[in-house]
Structures are given as C-alpha cells and as structure tokens.
Structure 1
Amino acid sequence: MEPSTSPSADAVPQAHLVDRHPEVPADQLVAQMVPPPMFDEVSFASYIPDPNEPSQAAAVRKAEEFAHQVSAIHKAANKKSLFGKKKQVSGAGLYLDGGFGVGKTHLLASIYHIARAADPASASFGTFGEVTNLVGALGFANTVERLADNSVLCIDEFELDDPGDTMLVSRLLTELSARGVSIAATSNTLPGQLGEGRFAAQDFLREIKKLGSIFEAVRVDGPDYRHRDLPPAPEPISTELLTERAAAVPGSTLDDFDALLKHLSTLHPSKYRALVSGVASVFISNVHPVDDQAIALRVVALADRLYDASIPVTVSGAKLDQIFTEEMLEGGYRKKYLRAISRLLALSRFDAAA
C-alpha cells in the first residue's frame, strides 16, 4: 500500500503576506523609530575599518566625535537662562556619504546608541522614507513638536530623487536644528560616481540650503560588504520545491509575486514593517522583472523592511538581481533599485547558507 499524501490532520496551514492587513496607529510611528534589529548591539568599537580604505577609520573618528558633540549641545539647549527660558542653541549636522554596504548605517546606529545612553528618550532613527511617512501621518507641526526634545535625529538613506519630499524634510530639519536637535544622515553614492569627488555630498548640501552651514560631509569609501567574496545571486528554485520548503519552515509565508504586488498597493508603506513583523522567512513564487515605477518603489520599500528584520527570502521564477528591468535601472530611481537588489541578494544568500 502506498503511503498517503494527504495533509496531516494537525498540519499548520501555510501563512501568506497577502492575508495580513496591519493597522499602525500614528502615535506609534515615533516610538518605532529605532535602528533595525541587526544594529541593536553595534558600536563604534565594533566597526572594523577596511585597512585598504583609510576613509573608513577617519569616518569612525568623525562619527564618534559628533556623537559626543550631540550630548553637549543637548545639555546646553536644555539649560535654563536666568529668566527660566531654554537657551537658543542650534544642532550640529553630520552627513556620511559613500557607496552601498560600507558601514554607514552601522556608524549612524552607533551615534543613536550613544545619544540614548545619555538620555533614553532623546534619539530617533529612521530612513528618509520613514521620516516622510511620519510627517504624512502626524502632520508637519505635530512631527516637529514630537521630535523637538530629541538630542539627535538619525536619517538613513537620505534621498534626493523626489524634490517634494526632499524639500519637505529639509524644512523639517531646519525647524528641528533651530530648536537644538542635531541631525546625522547617510546617503549612497552610485558605484559609477565613486571617485568623482563629493558628488552626492554636493547634491545634499545644495538641496538643503539652510542646513548646509551646519553639516559636515564625511566620505566613507569601500566595496559593498554584502558582496565581498560572495557567489553570484542564487539560482531560483522550482515553484514545487519552493512550496515544500515554505511548508517546512515554521512562521514562514508563501506568496505569488503578482498577488503580493497587488496587496502592497493596498497598504501605505508605513505599514510594511508591521506586514512582515514576526515572519521567519519569506517565500515568493513566480518572480519576474518589474517595469512599472510605482510597483518597483513598493518592492524597494518591502525589501528595506525585510532587510531591517533580517528575514531570509527565497524565490522561484527570475533571479533577484533581475527583479528590475534594465530600463528601470537606468532611470531616476537607480540608486533605490540598486540598494534593493543588494539587500535582497544578501537575504537570499542568508537563506541559502541556512
């Protein structure tokens, strides 16, 4: 007699991201502005500079000096005058400019941890997208008030490709700096622009005209650590094997790529963190290149949240380094797409290693 192939009576049904409909109250958006879990324990001491890239060691020194400067400014800003008013002290600014995967987020998170050690409620950390989402959810004035008591606001992956968002955040940072909040930011220089001087830094300072005088731009050079000595993108597996592997991983989700893209369109990107919260591993079938900008940007946002949570990704269909068409990669959002590919490849290799 052949063994039965029917599901076990106590088998756990396969979970799907498309069945999740998270709601995130606006007031929780500030509370969740912390570094990704993978940066919970980082410090300046744990950053290992590449000996072949002297700018990395120099960046560590500058970031550590800035972190201590932040604490001094915060104390001065909270010191009352003889008339009981807080002193008018402007915040400092540090901008870490470099390519993908050179440790800028590690340094940014280290600044955050130093600030929190001095005052547990005095620092916020978020990506550029999360900051714009915060303003959209709370309103501009409310966002300023909620962040005005910070010693520092850390913004990862500052973006210059949307003029409206850039100027909105510029205005926010101007208001916060005037109230004594220091600003630390990172951004990515495209690989083809490395060696062309301080291209990204000049763009950043030009766009944030009012803040240009307070920001010190620091270069961080080096190859993407996520790609160092690693093989090319893993080959996709068959949909049948994908389904089997998903069923074997407790807490995993399994979704068809097009169905997942459709579901993402129904959620504000501020909810993507909650969408993948608690998921052990993500399996996606029938992946194919994306050629629509709106859809591609949702994929970028999801990739960021998956990477933040260190959630392995396994796919069938196209390879993950082919998820955006060549035309998309040559467009105005090239920087975002390359970052997403880098992160998805890291997550897919993490799964392959497991």
Structure 2
Amino acid sequence: MAPKKNIVIVGGAGGAGLARALSPSLDASKHTLTLINDRAFYIHYPAMLRVNVTSDGHLEDRAWVPLDKIFAPGKVGKVKIGTVTKVVDGAVELESGETVPYDFLVLATGSKWEGFLDYPIDRSEAVKLVNSWRQKFANAGEVVIVGGGSVGIETAGEIADFYPSTTVHIVHAQPLLLNDTYPAKVRKAIASQLESKGVKLHLGDLVTEIPATESGTVVTKKGVRLSADLFIPARGPRPNTAYLKSFDPTILAESGGVKVHPTLQVPLANGKTNVFALGDIIEWNEQKMLFKTAAHTAVILPNLLSALNGGKPTKEYKTGAEPIIVTIGRKGGYGYLPFLWGISLGSWVSSTMKSKGLFIDKTRESFGY
C-alpha cells in the first residue's frame, strides 16, 4: 500500500475554514490532515475592538471559539496546538521541537497585530490583557487613535458609544478616512457619523512616533499638539510570516506577504508546487478582509484535491468587489456595496448586519458551534 499523503495547514481563520471544507473529501486510508494553530481557540478579531473597550455582554466568551469541533466525528483531520517556528522542505518545526511532515502545505497564519490587539497565546494571559485595556478605556479622559482605517474607525466608534464623555481623536495620513479603494462619498459619510459622536478628526496629518508610554503628548507633522491618556496604534497589521524567512526568502515580498500564483500556489525557488497560501498573508492587490478567505478557500480546495490525485491545479483566484461595512458603536455604522451604481448602507442596515452581532454567531457556526 502506498504511504499516506500528509496535508498540513498552518493557522488562522482561513486555515480552519479550509481544513473543515477539505476533510469530508479525504480518504482516511490515503490521507492525513493536520491543522496547526498556536492557540486552542480562534480569536474573532471583528469583535475584539468592542471586547477590548467594554465588558458589556462579555463577548469574549463567544468571540474566542474553541477548535475542538473543526472536524466532524469520523472524518479525517486533527488539530495540533503549537507555534510553527520554521518550515523546511517536507516538514514544519514547532517551538516545542516537534517536527510535522507534509506532502502538501497550506500557509494561513494571518496577520500580526500591534498594541491592544496583540494577544498572548495563553488564554488566561489574554483575559488579563483584555481586562487591563477595559480599565484603561474606562479611566481615559482623552484618547488618540493613530490610523483612520477600519480598525481606527471602529475603535473610535466603540469608545464614543460606551464612554461618550471621553474625547477621541483620529490622526490619519490621507485626506479622507480609509483609503482610495472606496469612493469619497463613503469616506465622508463615515467621517460625518464619527464627528456627530464628538470624534475629532485630524486628516492629512501624521504622528511619526507614538509615545513609549501609553499616555503622553505628541506633535503631529502639521504641528498639532495632542495630549492623551491613551495612544492607540491602528495603522494596520503586518503579515505573520517571520517563520518563513529561512525556508525560501524568494517567496516573501518586501511587505512580508507571501507571493502566490493565481492558483494560490507559492512559487518556490526549488520548483516544487506543493505549497499553497491564503488569507491576509498573501501578496495580492486587494483589501485584507476576513470574508476574502472564503473566496481563497474556493480556489485552493479544488486545486489541492486535484494535486492530491496527481492532477494539475487550474482554478485561479481573481480579485472580486471590495464591499465594506464599518461599525460605529452598537447602533451606528456605514456600508458600501460596489454593485450597480454603488449601494450605500446607512446606520440602521449596517448595525443590523454587523454592529449588533459582529458576525459572532456566523463565525461560531463555521467552527462547528
């Protein structure tokens, strides 16, 4: 009998989703499937801005989703908890010293966040961090958020909602919030909602260095002096790919993202085609959004199955539309669907779709809960 083919998927929401989708198509006599994640639970980041600001609803109890139901009973697949520190040809190495062999590898380690979204791996330590930030937000009279992308916008919205007496500033380098992917009318509408809640916007300006301590005073590039009890970095994450540097440096872009072909296969220098990548780590001209992982999975799944059976992957990924919904507290928000003439979604629709539930129930369902 031929040896089993080992499929290893490393980390992240995208990796878990692919593992769950792939498992029913595998034959236990021919394949093994291992999902490696550094935590025993998935952190649903779209909910974490509210989780960090307030204990209201204790959303962390539902937004941190265990991985024990990824695979249906009797189906191929197991979860291994460990941090991958190195990849070599044919194996991944864990911090514990364990080596996990692979015939096919999928990289899905997502983003590395800074500041209040940089959670410890240990759950009890992560809880302590969350509680610490909640206390800081409760005590803060003035907060400066550096970055006016979706994280900065939503953080400001949560603070303004739960602590309306707190003065919140957003400093953003571009002349409008978000970036040029979205129409000016959308970016202006979001700004208008924030300003109606008392958020002060400093657009087209920069904070070149955030204070080493969480409180302090900065002078922006335009000369605006801002003092705050809390400075929150919201400049966006970076790809979580440091563990790949010794594997094949040619696959990493200057940004740290992993280069991929349209089939989402990684162009290895040794010519092999057995490594795929998806999610935030891929170097692809699109906005980094959680929902994109489903589209990535729809490409990798048939391609990986084809490769397992000796075929050639042919399905290609194409960047789709760039919709967005940002929350502004529990009852606010704004959405844009770039279809037809461009459909705008006001506060009621946006809050109904996202702000109230933050997609927590849908996410838990995708993890088997």
- TM-score range relative to shorter protein: under 0.3
| Larger relative contact order (Cα-Cα within 8 Å, sequence gap ≥ 6) | 1
Q: What TM-score, normalized by structure 1, do the two folds share?
A: 0.28
Q: Which has the higher helix share?
A: 1
**TM-score where L is the length of structure 2:** 0.27
